[in-house]
Structure 1
Amino acid sequence: MYLSLDLIDKTESLNAEDLALIEKMLHHAAQAEGIDLGSELSVTFVNNEEIQQINNDYRGKNVPTDVISFAMEELGEGEMAIEIEGAPRMLGDIIISVERAKEQAADYGHSEERELGFLAIHGFLHLLGYDHMEVADEKEMTEKQEAILQSFGLRREQDEKH
């Protein structure tokens, strides 16, 4: 496979097909983004309570969110990048609330698989440095997400009806 992925379902609520879909989608996204073969990342699936604690601890926001990414290549002020020749590229960690994904799927009127896939791609793009704090950046990230989801074939059900 393209990436070295560690998928951890702490909720024990996802089935093998859900995890396989996320894995295939992330491999697809890595190829689409030209990521080095063998690059590493982890995806952990949690409940709202756990992601709320993480959100509070790391972002000072005491509310559950849908996805949080921790990029290994994002440097703080004064930090230097450490690169070891021959070592795999460490992209970082993505944490997804399965509860929030299910809530949002119902709110948006599409499948839970589509929402989980969207959140995985959204988190993956954050690991690569994409952001949505400014309007232009949000537009670029949104277009990139949709292009990856469309090329993978995971579309919103309402898109399929048109």
Structure 2
Amino acid sequence: MTTRWLTPDEQRAWRAYIAASHLLEDALDRQLQQEAGMPHLYYTILATLSETDHRCLRMTDLAEALKITRSRLTYAVTRLEKDGLVRREGCRMDKRGSLAFLTDEGMEVLERAAPGHVEMVRTALFEHLTPEQVGQLEEIFTGVAGALQGDGDQPASDDLPWRRRSSTQLT
């Protein structure tokens, strides 16, 4: 099989994406650590739970929503649970499953952290884009994510992060 090397244009675009994504994640993480004492992942867990009915999700559904491994989610939720921001309960319908709930204290922490986080996202990303570019960005990354998840003609891979088997089982 012949390697299909990136064209110069593709190589520049790829390197620009890598640089921007690393710098953006670092900026978001630093801002949240300084202002809320938590990494970006923990904030994202709280925000995702806050947007659901009853502020709760099955752990497997939460891992899928966040596009992370189940073991990484378990570690993060355990830490948030120790801080009183999330609580876990067994799932009544499936004894093997567990649910993550955003506590009232977790909601308060999220509400305090959200304005600074939104301002950082706006400053670091959206202030540098035209409205047309915002739409293009959404279209591009929705297409990439869909292709990687098997949306469309391709079946979903069992190697997606939230489907990977690990020593810590979630359902």
- TM-score, normalised to structure 1's length? 0.30
Question: Which structure has the highest strand share of the two?
Answer: 1
Rg larger for: 2
Question: Which structure has the highest helix share of the two?
Answer: 2
